[in-house]
Amino acid sequence: MGCCFGKRRKEAKGGAQGGAGQDPPAADEEAKPPQYSWDQRAKVDPKDYTFSGLKDETVGRLPGKVAGQQFVIQDCENCNIYIFDHSATITIDDCTSCRIFLGPVKGSVFFRDCKDCKCVVACQQFRTRDCRKLEVFLCCATQPIIESSTGMKFGCFQYYYPELALQFKDAGLSIFNNTWSNIHDFTPVSGENNWSLLPEDATVQDYVPLPTSEELKVIRISTDTMKSIIPITWGGRQKSSEESCLAVFFAGDYTTANARKLIDEMTGKGFLLVQTKEVSMKAEDAQRVFQQSASDFIPLLEKGPVVALEFNGDGAVEGCRSIINDVFSGTKVFVSENKASASQDVDSFYNFADMQMGM
């Protein structure tokens, strides 16, 4: 075996030196530089990720056409602009009277020097500077910030198309983390309010129409609030009742489906979904939030983040507990024990969650 192996190596060596039956390598092959994987990557042309200087046009990008790249929108007037894909960051500069849809953005969305625009935006961070009269249906994982901006109005993100759920995952965004109404005004003016909330019955299609171009009409869009990828929350508006209820689902194969089912059941009975949150918890967090019930739930925390829902309305606690017992009898769910403890449950959980997320 060893001699045979050695002979084959010797023959190979001889062939490499120009032995019988072997042609010497061509000169251009000898000079050819090595190829590396990073040399094989497709070159990115910034023009493919920019809309600039447009007027009275409808433009957009289909799913898969942005694929996590940065995007720039600038100097556009009276345009309908649609980004039906996830991206890294998006800046929008010097745009006037535009209607804009931005699919999930992993990082920041930054509007600068824009006015009279209507937008639908999903992102990790949202900021405006020197803007006037923007109306935004927003999903934002962190606290939205406005700076030197006036006449700003915000509503909860509401949109659906088949690729959107996966785009949220690709952008690293949770559909349950949305602080759309918790606006921080970096430059407040005494006696004035630079921002407000859109009417509770505001619908996206009245602000950002569906695309009409042949290229973009292939997207199967729905603006029906019942189909929205993001649960529609009440946010910072005045609550209808002094009674709220906290329900917490623990990580598992059906966590998202179970949370959405409870939302449908509760809102179908007239209760408000105030806010939602998806966050990881430790044992000490559970002790503080779940108190006497903590020992029942601590082993479940290792499986992944929890999803929490706050409902509001007279009878919310009793209604939620009834649905949990009837519909989720085989699922471990934390739900407020009674009306007296419910407000403390809500405050304890969301104070913890906000600290976890740096807000």
Q: Is 129 within any annotated ligand binding site?
A: no
Sheet holding 272-279, edge to edge: 272-279, 306-312, 244-249, 333-335
Q: Is 124 within any annotated ligand binding site?
A: yes
Q: Rounded to whole angstroms, how far apart are CA atoms 107 and 168?
A: 12
**Angle CA(166)–CA(169)–CA(171) in degrees, nearest 5?**
110
Q: Rounded to whole angstroms, how far apart are CA atoms 37 and 306?
A: 39
Question: Are 61 and 84 within 8 A, CB to CB?
Answer: yes
Q: Rounded to whole angstroms, how far apart are CA atoms 113 and 126?
A: 15
Q: Rounded to whole angstroms, how far apart are CA atoms 111 and 99?
A: 13
Both tokens of 135, joined, read: 């109306």
Q: Is 168 within any annotated ligand binding site?
A: no
Q: Is 127 within any annotated ligand binding site?
A: yes
Q: Is 107 within any annotated ligand binding site?
A: yes
- Residue 31: strand, helix, or coil: helix
Q: Is 108 within any annotated ligand binding site?
A: yes
Binding residues for GTP: 107-108, 124-127
Binding residues: 107-108, 124-127
